[in-house]
Chain A
Amino acid sequence: MNDFDAIVVGAGPSGVSAALTMARGGMNVVLLERGPYPGSKNLMGGVLYTDVLSRLIPDFIEKGAPLERHVAEKRWSLLSSDSASTAAFKNTKWDKPPFNHSHTVLRARFDKWFAAQAEGEGVELVCGVVVDGMIKEEGRVVGVRTRTGEGTDAAEGELRAPVVVLCEGANALLAENEGLKPPASSDDCAIGVKEVIKLGEDTIAERFNLEGRQGVAWEFIGAATGGLPGAGFIYTNHDTISVGIVAYLGEMKEDGSTPYDLLDTFKAHPAVRPLVRGGEVLEYGAHLIPESGVGRLPMRVKDGLMSVGDAAGLISSGPRHEGSNYAMASGVMAGETALEAHESGDYTVSGLSGYNKAVEGSFIWKGIERYSQWPGFLKQNPQLFSGWPEALAEMTASTLEVDNYATGEAEDKLMELFNRRIGVLPFAMTALQLRNSLKIFGYGKTDKLLEYISRNW
């Protein structure tokens, strides 16, 4: 006897998108959330890319989606221990819809709103329910084992449905138990820690050079993470800022650094300190980022079971940091596949294989494939995070320092510094690896390049 047509585990972006898609198709869906409300366990930097959301809920802005600011400006800073080189791009065209589909959000607020939209369309949302495992019949998933109540007075329960969608996030206990995902390994993930710091709307506008609801997404590499591969970030929210660091967990473990010490060091950097000064820390949080790489991605489908979003490792490891939009898109795909299975009555791996095909034919897969070498590039080039930022700072300073202006020796000094601290060969090798890992400047298109050269020679 089925309680529902489908059970969705986890009310984050992927779970809500899956549940909403199924409910719209007429399925009777329950959405289970272990926190007291959707979003209460969820955290990201972060910028939400709203292109998928705008297809699901075209009037999300009118419907009061809790967006903090639209990203009107991107900044990147390279930090040495006592300097910063910054590049910035501000585009006022992004001040109007669709705002380049980029908004800063605070996930506890956003996810709560998003889940409420699904509830409004018939999804049954139940919070405070932990799912501890699957119910199986003849190897097929036919429901979930639930746990509610408090402390030692747990009430065990069962819910049955012909299909279960796992949207449990990066700490994917159920997906691991079901063998969809290899056991957690520090080589396969990064850790992010952040603080939400209250500064007030006016202070943010002044400090970050913003008007109205403009926001900035600012990334810091180099001394931001104490020499570890990773980055620091500041995202402006409405009256708060999100300040944090992300680093690969395996490297952090080897190094013995502690995430909150790295965050303290980042906040104390001379280029960051004035931006966070005087703010009140409202919250401190942490989250894992699954960086499985395309070769080690989870399986995603079993009989009666699909995994979606972070639980399925569907994030882009690349410099655009896509995750929550992939979660939404994969949720929609799983929802559509569940609708087909609901129609055909075939919930086996072959009945659900449309989901895998949809993911692998989509922009998600392109993004994951394209940037699958990016983490390896960063991990294999530690000089990008420790030695070279210092060398670059010294070189820049040597060309700008007043003493050097008149002498005409600046250029010699610059070359000497470059040769000694960086070197032509290591620089060229790293540049080539960078190009290959980002797949830019004609990567994989040798034929086209040769053709272009021969035509224009």
Chain B
Amino acid sequence: MSEPRKSGVEDRLYANEIRPDKVSHIEITDGERCLECVAKPCTTACPAGTYTLDSAGERIIINFDNCLECGACRSVCPFSVIEWKNPMGGMGICYRYG
């Protein structure tokens, strides 16, 4: 039997209702720290792939529309440089099932 196709995070998020905010609710307060950060756990622990690496593999790109608003990134960042606010009222992930 063939392995079922692995669905990437984008495919998954496609099923969700997300009401995109106009501005990012996430900021990295000191991007230089990301250059020092070896493990870059935000890129693996985030369940929504919100944090990806730039083409040089050094800096973090924030895809804030992916965010499921769980808060995992805040607790895994070794330098605590992720400033995470709630998105604007009514915006962001909107679970229909939950």
Which of B4, B72, B84 has a CB less than 8 Å from the CB of A286? Answer: B72
CB contacts (< 8 Å) of B49 on chain A: these are 260
Does A425 have its Cβ within 8 Å of any Cβ on chain B? no
Q: A36–B22 contact, CB under 8 A?
A: no
What secondary structure prevails in chain B residues at the interface with A? Answer: loop
CB contacts (< 8 Å) of B33 on chain A: these are none
> How far is B44's CA from A258's CA once the two chains are assembled, in angstroms?
5
User: Taking A129-B89, A171-B71, A186-B76 as contacts, is the C-beta distance between A151 and B95 under 8 angstroms?
Assistant: no
Does A196 have its Cβ within 8 Å of any Cβ on chain B? yes
Query: Shortest CB–CB separation between residue A187 and chain B, in angstroms?
Result: 8
**Interface residue count for B (Cβ, 8 Å)?**
45
Contact indicator per residue, chain A 137-156, by CB within 8 Å of chain B (1) or not (0):
00000000001111110100
Which of A44, A128, A170, A283 has a CB less than 8 Å from the CB of B90? Answer: A128
Q: A253–B16 contact, CB under 8 A?
A: no
Q: B88–A154 contact, CB under 8 A?
A: yes
Contact indicator per residue, chain B 85-96, by CB within 8 Å of chain A (1) or not (0):
111111111111
Within residues 1 to 43 of chain B, which ones have a CB less than 8 A from any CB in chain A?
3-4, 6-9, 12-13, 15-16, 19, 21-23, 39, 41
Q: B71–A288 contact, CB under 8 A?
A: yes
CB contacts (< 8 Å) of A39 on chain B: these are 95, 98
CB contacts (< 8 Å) of A128 on chain B: these are 89-90
Within residues 42 to 76 of chain A, which ones have a CB less than 8 A from any CB in chain B?
42-44
User: Taking A107-B98, A287-B70 as contacts, is the C-beta distance between A149 and B88 under 8 angstroms?
Assistant: yes
CB contacts (< 8 Å) of A44 on chain B: these are 98
> How far is B9's CA from A40's CA once the two chains are assembled, in angstroms?
20
User: Taking A252-B45, A288-B70 as contacts, is the C-beta distance between A149 and B89 under 8 angstroms?
Assistant: yes
Query: Shortest CB–CB separation between residue A293 and chain B, in angstroms?
Result: 15
CB contacts (< 8 Å) of B90 on chain A: these are 34-36, 127-128, 150
Does A185 have its Cβ within 8 Å of any Cβ on chain B? yes
Q: Can you name 6 A-B pairs with beta carbons within 8 Å?
A: A35-B90, A149-B89, A184-B71, A252-B44, A264-B6, A283-B96
Residues on B facing A (Cβ under 8 Å): 3-4, 6-9, 12-13, 15-16, 19, 21-23, 39, 41, 44-45, 47-49, 68-72, 74-76, 80, 84-98
Taking A130-B89, A256-B41 as given, write out 5 further A-B residue pairs in contact, using a Cβ cutoff of 8 Å, ordered by the A residue number.
A41-B94, A152-B23, A260-B47, A264-B6, A284-B13
